Amino acid sequence: MQVKSQSFKENSKKALNDKTLQKALTKVRGNFINKRKKAVDELPEFDTLRDNARDIKNHTLDNLDLYLEEFEKKVVDQGGHVHWAQTASDARGQILDICRKANAKTVTKGKSMISEEIELNDFLEASGITPVETDLGEYIIQLRNEAPSHIIAPAVHLTMDQVREDFIKAHSHLPDDRLLEDPQSLLLEAREVLREKFMEADVGITGANFLVAETGTSVIVTNEGNGDLTQSLPRVHIVIASLEKLVPTLEDMSQIMRVLARSATGQKMSVYTTLSSGPKRKDDPDGPDEYHVILLDNGRTDMLGTEFQEMLRCIRCGACMNHCPVYQQVGGHAYGWVYPGPMGAVLTPNLIGVDKSGHLPNASTFCGRCEEVCPMRIPLPKMMRHWREREFEKHLTPPAQGRNLKLWLMLVKRPNLYRKVVRIASFGLRLFGFRKSRTGFLPMAGAWTKDRDMPTPEGKPFLSQYKGKQKIS
Amino acid sequence: MSKEPRVGLFVTCLVDLFRPSVGFAAVKLLEDAGCDVYVPITQTCCGQPAWNSGDKVDTAELAISVIKAFEEFDYIVAPSGSCAGMLKKHYPEVFANDPAWKERTEKFSEKCYELTSFLTDVMGVRKVWAEHSANVTYHDSCAGLRELKIKKQPRILLNSMKGINLSEMTDNETCCGFGGTFSVKYSDISNAIVTEKSGHIEDANVDLLLAGDMGCLMNMAGKLKRQGSKVEVRHVAEVLAGMTDKPPIGGKA
Q: Would you call A472 and B221 a contact, using CB atoms and an 8 Å cutoff?
A: no
A420 and A281 housed in the same domain: no
The rounded distance, in Å, linking the Cα atoms of B211 and A11 is 32
A243 and A151 housed in the same domain: yes
Which residue in the set B52, B187, B250 is minimally distant from A448, CB to CB?
B187
Does a structural domain hold residue B180? yes
Which chain A residues have a beta carbon less than 8 Å from that of B219? 452
* Beta carbons of A63 and A196 less than 8 angstroms apart: no
ipTM computed for the complex:
0.96
For an interface test with B, give the residue of A8, A17, A335, A366 to mutate (most B CBs within 10 A).
Answer: A366
A72 and A206 housed in the same domain: yes
- Which of B72, B93, B121 delimits the end of a domain? B121
B183 and B221 housed in the same domain: yes
The rounded distance, in Å, linking the Cα atoms of B79 and B84 is 8
Does a structural domain hold residue B245? no
Average pLDDT (B84-113) is: 98
Q: Would you call B175 and A409 a contact, using CB atoms and an 8 Å cutoff?
A: no
With helix as H, strand as E and coil as C, how does chain B read? CCCCCEEEECCCHHHHHHCHHHHHHHHHHHHHCCCEEECCCCCCCCCHHHHCCCCHHHHHHHHHHHHHHHCCCCEEEECCHHHHHHHHHHHHHHCCCCCCCHHHHHHHHHCEEEHHHHHHHHCCCCCCCCEEEEEEEECCCHHHHHHCCCCHHHHHHHHCCEEEEECCCCCCCCCCCCCCCHHHHCHHHHHHHHHHHHHHHHHCCCCEEEECCHHHHHHHHHHHHHCCCCCEEEEHHHHHCCCCCCCCCCCCC
Does a structural domain hold residue A256? yes
A333 and A218 housed in the same domain: no
Number of folded domains that form chain B: 2
Average pLDDT (B32-60) is: 97
Which chain A residues have a beta carbon less than 8 Å from that of B72? 471-472
Q: Would you call B43 and A415 a contact, using CB atoms and an 8 Å cutoff?
A: yes
pLDDT at B124: 97
Q: Would you call A471 and B42 a contact, using CB atoms and an 8 Å cutoff?
A: no
B208 and B184 housed in the same domain: yes
A257 and A363 housed in the same domain: no
Identify the CATH number of the domain in which residue A129 sits: 3.40.50.10420
B50 interfaces chain A, CB cutoff of 8 Å: yes
Average pLDDT (B181-209) is: 97
For an interface test with A, give the residue of B35, B53, B219 to mutate (most A CBs within 10 A).
Answer: B53
What is the band of A199 on the pLDDT scale with cuts at 50, 70, 90?
Answer: very high
Does a structural domain hold residue A75? yes
Q: Would you call A385 and B62 a contact, using CB atoms and an 8 Å cutoff?
A: no
Chain A: residue whose CA lies nearest to B143: A367
Domain residue limits at A2: 1-18+318-397
Does a structural domain hold residue B248? no
Which residue in the set A362, A408, A472 is minimally distant from B49, CB to CB?
A408
What is the band of B90 on the pLDDT scale with cuts at 50, 70, 90?
Answer: very high
A90 and A149 housed in the same domain: yes
Does a structural domain hold residue A402? no
The rounded distance, in Å, linking the Cα atoms of B232 and B253 is 8
A202 and A230 housed in the same domain: yes
Does a structural domain hold residue A76? yes
Which chain B residues have a beta carbon less than 8 Å from that of A405? 49-50, 53, 55
CA distances for B4 relative to B7, B30, B76, angstroms: 9, 11, 14
Q: Would you call B187 and A450 a contact, using CB atoms and an 8 Å cutoff?
A: yes
Which residue from B192, B204, B179, B194 is spatially nearest to B250, judged by alpha carbons?
Answer: B194
Which residue in the set B36, B189, B226 is minimally distant from A12, CB to CB?
B189
Which chain A residues have a beta carbon less than 8 Å from that of B223? 451-453
The rounded distance, in Å, linking the Cα atoms of A152 and A241 is 16
Average pLDDT (B200-221) is: 98
Does a structural domain hold residue B251? no
Does a structural domain hold residue A280? yes
Number of folded domains that form chain A: 3
Which residue in the set B58, B146, B218 is minimally distant from A455, CB to CB?
B218
The rounded distance, in Å, linking the Cα atoms of B26 and B116 is 9
Average pLDDT (A43-49) is: 97
Which chain A residues have a beta carbon less than 8 Å from that of B142? 365-369
Q: Would you call B191 and A9 a contact, using CB atoms and an 8 Å cutoff?
A: no
What is the band of B2 on the pLDDT scale with cuts at 50, 70, 90?
Answer: low
For residue A405, pLDDT over 50 is answered with yes
Average pLDDT (A400-405) is: 90
Does a structural domain hold residue A307? no
A243 and A349 housed in the same domain: no
Q: Would you call B221 and A438 a contact, using CB atoms and an 8 Å cutoff?
A: yes
Which chain A residues have a beta carbon less than 8 Å from that of B237? none
A51 and A177 housed in the same domain: yes
Which chain B residues have a beta carbon less than 8 Å from that of A403? none
Smallest Cα distance from A469 to chain B, Å? 5
B207 interfaces chain A, CB cutoff of 8 Å: no
Question: How big is the A-B interface in CB pairs under 8 Å?
Answer: 224
Which residue in the set B53, B61, B250 is minimally distant from A405, CB to CB?
B53
B27 interfaces chain A, CB cutoff of 8 Å: yes
A13 and A72 housed in the same domain: no
For an interface test with B, give the residue of A360, A462, A467, A469 to mutate (most B CBs within 10 A).
Answer: A462
Q: Would you call A471 and B37 a contact, using CB atoms and an 8 Å cutoff?
A: no
Which residue from A328, A326, A324, A350 is spatially nearest to A337, judged by alpha carbons?
Answer: A350
- Which of A363, A397, A431 delimits the end of a domain? A397
* Beta carbons of B110 and B241 less than 8 angstroms apart: no
* Beta carbons of A29 and A328 less than 8 angstroms apart: yes
Does a structural domain hold residue B158? yes
What is the band of A146 on the pLDDT scale with cuts at 50, 70, 90?
Answer: very high
Q: Would you call B44 and A401 a contact, using CB atoms and an 8 Å cutoff?
A: no
- Which of B92, B121, B150 delimits the end of a domain? B121
Domain residue limits at B194: 126-240
A7 and A131 housed in the same domain: no
A273 and A143 housed in the same domain: yes
Does a structural domain hold residue B198? yes
Identify the CATH number of the domain in which residue B182 sits: 3.40.50.11810
Q: Would you call B54 and A462 a contact, using CB atoms and an 8 Å cutoff?
A: no
Cβ-Cβ contacts under 8 Å for A445 (sequence gap 6 or more): A454, B184
Mean pLDDT value across chain A: 96
The rounded distance, in Å, linking the Cα atoms of A432 and A424 is 13
For residue A473, pLDDT over 80 is answered with no
Q: Please write the tens of the pLDDT for every residue from A71-104.
A: 999 999 999 999 999 999 999 999 999 999 999 9
Does a structural domain hold residue B250? no
pLDDT at B1: 47
Signed CA dihedral, B28, B33, B38, B39: sign only: negative
Average pLDDT (A161-167) is: 95
Does a structural domain hold residue A31? no
pLDDT at A179: 86
- Which of B66, B99, B121 delimits the end of a domain? B121
B70 and B155 housed in the same domain: no
B113 and B194 housed in the same domain: no
Q: Would you call B38 and A469 a contact, using CB atoms and an 8 Å cutoff?
A: yes
The rounded distance, in Å, linking the Cα atoms of A358 and A363 is 9
For an interface test with A, give the residue of B90, B150, B172, B186 to mutate (most A CBs within 10 A).
Answer: B186
Mean pLDDT value across chain B: 97
Q: Please write the tens of the pLDDT for every residue from A207-247.
A: 999 999 999 999 999 999 999 999 999 999 999 999 999 99
Smallest Cα distance from B249 to chain A, Å? 6
Smallest Cα distance from A254 to chain B, Å? 29
Q: Please write the tens of the pLDDT for every residue from A60-74.
A: 999 999 999 999 999
B180 and B93 housed in the same domain: no
pLDDT at A401: 87
Does a structural domain hold residue B249? no
Chain A: residue whose CA lies nearest to B222: A453
Identify the CATH number of the domain in which residue B76 sits: 3.40.50
pLDDT at A165: 94
Q: Would you call B65 and A413 a contact, using CB atoms and an 8 Å cutoff?
A: yes
For residue A29, pLDDT over 80 is answered with no
Mean pLDDT lowest among A174-183, A320-329, B171-180: A174-183
B62 interfaces chain A, CB cutoff of 8 Å: yes
Which chain A residues have a beta carbon less than 8 Å from that of B61? 413
